[in-house]
């Protein structure tokens, strides 16, 4: 009988290594998800701070709190823009404010709503006119 030495791994050894890797990955994924949720929470807090500062800046500059804006649309309707439309300039988004004030474009609402929704919330469709 000749004795042959094999330099490879047995199937049992491979299965043990794969099992260990799967267990480690199972422990790692919840930590990654917790870090993602923490980042979303920090983003939400930052957005809230920006909105608060924008309202204070608007109030200081105009002397009153932001109000709803009423405009006459092309077909004679008067859409109401929510108060965040007033503070877009203070948020550094004068382009959105300009679109709202000059063109009365309803698609600009998407950008207004983005800053008011928590990143952890599921996506929503902006209300239509």
Q: pLDDT tens-digit profile of 59-82?
A: 998 888 887 665 555 565 655 566
* Beta carbons of 111 and 93 less than 8 angstroms apart: yes
The full 3-state SS of 52-118, as one line of letters, equals: HHHHHHHHHHHCCCCCCEECCCCCCCCCEECHHHHHCCCCCCHHHHHHHHHHCCHHHHHHHHHHHCC
Look at the chain and report how many structural domains it folds into: 1
> Looking at the domain assignment, is residue 126 inside a domain?
no
29 within some domain: yes
Residue numbers of the domain that contains 96: 11-116
Please indicate, yes or no, if residue 2 is contained in any of the structural domains.
Answer: no
Cβ neighbours around 58 below 10 Å, total: 20
Describe the crossing of helices 109-116 and 11-62 by its angle, rounded to 10 degrees.
110
Coil, strand, or helix at residue 120?
A: coil
Can you give the pLDDT at residue 28? 92
- Strand-pairing partners, residue 4, are none
Give tens-digit pLDDT for 79-129: 556 677 778 888 887 777 777 666 666 665 666 667 777 777 776 665 555
Model pTM above 0.85 = no
In a domain, 101, yes or no: yes
| Residue 122 included in any domain | no
58 close to 87: Cβ distance less than 8 angstroms:
yes
Residue 37 domain-assigned? yes
In a domain, 58, yes or no: yes
- C-alpha 40: how far from chain center: 7
């Amino acid at each position: 009988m000749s004795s042959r030495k094999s330099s490879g791994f047995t199937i049992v050894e491979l299965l043990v290594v794969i099992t260990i890797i799967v267990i480690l990955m199972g422990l790692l994924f919840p930590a990654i998800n917790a870090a993602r949720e923490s980042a979303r929470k920090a983003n939400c807090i930052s957005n809230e701070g920006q909105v608060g500062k924008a309202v204070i800046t608007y109030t200081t500059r105009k002397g009153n709190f932001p109000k709803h804006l009423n405009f006459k649309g092309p077909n004679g309707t008067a859409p109401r823009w929510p108060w965040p439309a007033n503070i877009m300039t203070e948020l550094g988004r004068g382009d959105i404010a300009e679109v709202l004030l000059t063109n009365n474009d309803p698609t600009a609402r998407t950008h207004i709503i983005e800053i008011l929704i928590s990143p952890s919330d599921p996506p929503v469709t902006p209300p239509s006119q």
